[in-house]
Amino acid sequence: MQSNTQAQAAVPLKNGEDRLAPAAARRGAGGKISKEWLYRGISAASLLAVLLLWWCAATFGWVNPLFLPKPQTVWSAFMDVIRDGYKGQTLLNHIGTSMRRLFLALAAAFATAVPLGILCGRFRVLRAIVDPFIEFYRPLPPLAYYTLLILWFGITDVSKVLLLFLGAFAPLFITAVFSVQRLSPDRINGARSLGAKGWKLYAFIIFPSVLPELLTGLRTAVGVSYATLVAAEMVAAVSGIGWLVLDASKFLRSDIMYLGIIIMALIAIAIDLVIRSLIRRVSPWTEQ
């Protein structure tokens, strides 16, 4: 009996029992996926219902068309703007201008806040030096210090990019600090025992360990910067999607205003989708 178990066990165990668990997990996920589609269908139906309500309200004159233009009017405004642009610039140009500001700021914030945050997470002294400044400006509404930035840099892209940079910096920095502090000591110790030290420990272990959380932080940062961007373009700009909406409002072009707002929303959704797919790509193990 005993020698029997021995003989079985001596065969190096390969895939037999090992494969069982993932297969079962997959079956479970199958049920979840079909449910997921059901909810998506419900969301789509709800969206269609509101569109229909909009169409009825505008067509049957329930609401003044200045407040609520017909969906068709917005659509034809869209076609017009696509063809002729708005105030001397194409629609793509306006969107491009806004996106350039946003991405420059986010890239700069990621490239600075993440290394600084990681170091502050590892070295308490460094954090003590940096913390007061972060804590001071973080709760401020960005538009409050935008006035200062305009004073220094004028109504330029520089002041806007700086504004968005500051807005994105704090959430990224804080995410980096906390996710580094939460790293398990075993992770670091194990890596050091394998010969990782100095910058290699940061580049090959600490950074990839916190990357999923950093991308989640980036999602927050994008939200903050995007809101700030639109507001800043409304306060002081001569181009960009936020400016387009504000400018249209001066001429009571509600069709253009609706169009601009819908485009803003679609852009935000698209950016979020990209980041979420990025998170899924870099950290498939956090799925379950």
Partner 1 sequence: MIYEEKPDQGILLDGIGLTYGKGASERQVLQNVSLKLEPGEFVAVLGPSGCGKTSLLNILAGYLRPTRGTVTINGKRHTRPDPGVGVVFQQANLFPWLSLARNIEFGMRMQSISKARRRERVAYFLELMGLETSAKLLPHQLSGGMKQRAAIARTLATDPEIVLLDEPFSALDALTRENMQLHLREIWHKTGKCMFFITHDVDEALLLSSRLIVMHPDPGRVVEDFANPLTEGAADPSFARIRSSADYSRLREHLLARMDGVNTLI
Of 59-67, 117-125, 189-197, 241-249: span binding partner 1 (CB under 8 A)? 189-197
- For partner 1, the closer CB: 191 or 278: 191
Among 38, 88, 195, 251, binds partner 1 (CB under 8 A): 195
Among 30, 41, 141, 284, binds partner 1 (CB under 8 A): 284
- For partner 1, the closer CB: 188 or 227: 188
Least separation, in Å, of the C-beta of 227 and partner 1? 32
Q: Is 3 in the site for partner 1 (CB under 8 A)?
A: yes
Let me know the angle formed at the C-alpha of 64 by 60 and 68, rounded to the nearest 5 degrees: 85
Question: How far, in Å, are 7, 43, 62, 64, 267 from residue 230 at the CA level?
Answer: 71, 27, 31, 27, 12
Among 176, 205, 224, 237, binds partner 1 (CB under 8 A): 205
Reduce the DSSP state of residue 85 to 3 states and report it.
coil
Question: How far, in Å, are 126, 136, 223, 246, 285 from residue 132 at the CA level?
Answer: 11, 6, 24, 36, 36
What does the alpha-carbon distance between residue 70 and residue 102 come to, in Å, rounded to a whole number?
32
Residue with tokens 């502090």: 181
Of 6-14, 97-105, 221-229, 236-244: span binding partner 1 (CB under 8 A)? 6-14
Residue with tokens 């193990």: 285
Among 29, 152, 190, 270, binds partner 1 (CB under 8 A): 190
Q: By C-alpha distance, which of 174, 158, 165, 154 is closest to 109?
A: 165
Question: Which residues are near partner 1 by CB under 8 A?
Answer: 2-3, 5-6, 9-10, 12-15, 17-18, 21-22, 184-187, 189-197, 200, 204-205, 208-209, 211, 282-285, 288
